[in-house]
Amino acid sequence: GAGVSQSPSNKVTEKGKDVELRCDPISGHTALYWYRQSLGQGLEFLIYFQGNSAPDKSGLPSDRFSAERTGGSVSTLTIQRTQQEDSAVYLCASSLVGGAFRGGYTFGSGTRLTVV
Amino acid sequence: SQQGEEDPQALSIQEGENATMNCSYKTSINNLQWYRQNSGRGLVHLILIRSNEREKHSGRLRVTLDTSKKSSSLLITASRAADTASYFCATELQGAQKLVFGQGTRLTINP
């Protein structure tokens, strides 16, 4: 596609429920990144994919968080047993190759997750 | 602690004036980038400066990088109301393939 597409754009869920957030990167971008942004804060790195593998998942805050990428394209971030502190905007970005040296990231518009 | 820290946290100026935002970081980098964010959603890449570069221009944007001081500045000249947004610096650390973002500067341009 022309840009990075994320769905849903907004998600309200009850505490304890599982949620899945989807990211469809730019076609041909091999690198994909997930970030989280709490209200008024900077971006917190979660996980990086190169192709279908995740060489850096150091930012996942707990084992309730997992992510996968299939076919070198679409990625899904899953949060199990959601907690109120998981409320944030989840941003996905892609780039042509791993490492931003060759250019910047292209971000999606994010999924605003609210846990009630 | 944050790799990148922006200063000031908030800046309000009149349209037509120049806006300067600063970013400091702690460890060696491959490059430093600046992004703009409107309305708390997706970020837009503005400019990238490599560790061996000292200054870069793009339209009304001027970025400087001082690796000895581990700092960068973003200058927006002749500001417009449409420049109102949050601006983030992001560093790619040596040996890593991810960007580390600062907390951002909230810029308001008053008409």
At B61 the pLDDT is 98
- pLDDT over 90, % of chain A: 81
- Closest-CA residue of A relative to B87 is A42
Q: How far is CA A69 from the centre of its chain?
A: 11
* Distance to chain A for B29, nearest Cα, Å: 10
**A31, A42, A110: residue with CB nearest B88:** A42
At B1 the pLDDT is 41
Residue A96 has pLDDT above 90, yes or no: no
Q: How far is CA B46 from the centre of its chain?
A: 8
Q: Flag the least confident range among A2-16, A85-99, B47-61.
A: A85-99
Residue-wise pLDDT tens for chain B (111 aa)?
A: 446 788 899 999 999 999 999 999 998 998 999 999 997 678 999 999 999 999 999 999 999 999 999 999 999 999 999 999 999 999 988 777 789 999 999 999 999
How far is the C-alpha of B57 from the C-alpha of A75, rounded, in Å?
35
Please judge whether A105 and B99 are an interchain contact, meaning their C-beta atoms are less than 8 angstroms apart: yes
Please judge whether A39 and B40 are an interchain contact, meaning their C-beta atoms are less than 8 angstroms apart: yes
**A4, A33, A101: residue with CB nearest B30:** A101
Please judge whether A108 and B30 are an interchain contact, meaning their C-beta atoms are less than 8 angstroms apart: no
**A41, A48, A93: residue with CB nearest B103:** A41
* Distance to chain B for A47, nearest Cα, Å: 9
DSSP annotation of B96:
-
At A101 the pLDDT is 56
Confidence tier at A102 by pLDDT (50, 70, 90): low
Please judge whether A91 and B35 are an interchain contact, meaning their C-beta atoms are less than 8 angstroms apart: no
At B97 the pLDDT is 79
Residue A100 has pLDDT above 70, yes or no: no
How far is the C-alpha of B93 from the C-alpha of B97, rounded, in Å?
7
Instruction: Report the pLDDT averaged over residues A16-35.
Output: 95
Residues near A26 by beta carbon (within 8 Å), at least 6 away in sequence: A1, A2, A3, A4, A94, A106
Please judge whether B99 and A33 are an interchain contact, meaning their C-beta atoms are less than 8 angstroms apart: yes
Measure the CA dihedral A82/A93/B92/B94, to 10°. 80
Q: Which residue has the tokens 């990075």?
A: A4
Residues near A88 by beta carbon (within 8 Å), at least 6 away in sequence: A36, A37, A38, A39, A112, A113
At B66 the pLDDT is 97
List the one residue out of A36, A10, A38, A20 whose CA is nearest residue A74.
Answer: A20
Residue to mutate among B47, B97, B101, B105, with most A CBs inside 10 A, is B97
